[in-house]
Amino acid sequence: RALLKDAWRRAGERHNRAWRLAVADASRRAGDCHLAWRLAGELGAAAVRGLPDPDEVPLWQAAWPDCYLETVRRQAGNDELALFLLSIMRTESGFDPAAQSVADARGLLQLIDEVARPAARAQGLEYHPDRLFEPGYNIRLAAWHLGRLLERYRDNFWLAAAAYNAGAAAVDRWLEEFGDLPADLFAELIPWTETRRYFKRVLTAWAHYAFLRGGPMPMPSLDPPARAHP
């Protein structure tokens, strides 16, 4: 990582964008998705707008890297959910397994104790908070939690993303208050700005991942969101 950071600094001093792009791509190939994501971000948001030219594909791959994909796929069970989980990971931690928030959310998918502990218990795993910094353990618990949210919201991915951020109790309350509205209006009425921004970022990342892997683009329904299962 130190060598890659030094190469990035030298490329910046020389204003060599092609070299900086090569360093970001090398970081991704080396498995350091956090560094690749950060370096791609430093190249600017404008560089990843629209559809990529062939020369820009490595930048997109660095900005939306697929590190941990095999682990995520094993836990998710299918590619659709795996890419959705990667999108949450990108939004939550920027692929930093050592991330820790002021609320003590930990690891790649920023799990808090009240979510991680029951997820471990349900799978017959011993629960150790410090293990949340281990990618495999963190991903396994988060995949179980996300699966339960998708069951609760009848496979509505954007409601599950909102609940991952705000908690199921808040989403259930919003469904009771204005859940009869079309989904796009419902989304804009969510009173928590952070949650509105969060699930939009997750869905945007999910679309980028689908594009990069040549799969169908996710198309959230605009029908009124279904009530949660009790």
| pLDDT one-digit tens code per residue, 54-105 | 677 888 889 999 989 999 999 999 999 999 999 999 999 999 999 999 999 9
Instruction: Say which of 42, 92, 151, 176 is annotated catalytic.
Output: 92
More confident residue, 1 or 203: 203
pLDDT of residue 7: 55
* CATH class label, 68-213: mainly alpha
pLDDT of residue 52: 65
> Domain boundaries in the chain?
1-63, 68-213
pLDDT of residue 47: 59
CA distance 40 to 15: 15
| Opening angle at CA 23, ends 14 and 99, nearest 5 | 115
Averaged pLDDT for residues 29-37: 89
Active site residue 176: no
79-93 and 193-212 helices cross at what angle (nearest 10)?
130
Beta bridge partners of 106: 100, 111
pLDDT of residue 31: 87
> Each residue of 155-192: pLDDT tens digit?
999 999 999 999 999 999 999 999 888 888 999 999 99
Q: In which band, very low, low, confident or very high, does the pLDDT at 13 lie, cut at 50, 70 and 90?
A: very low
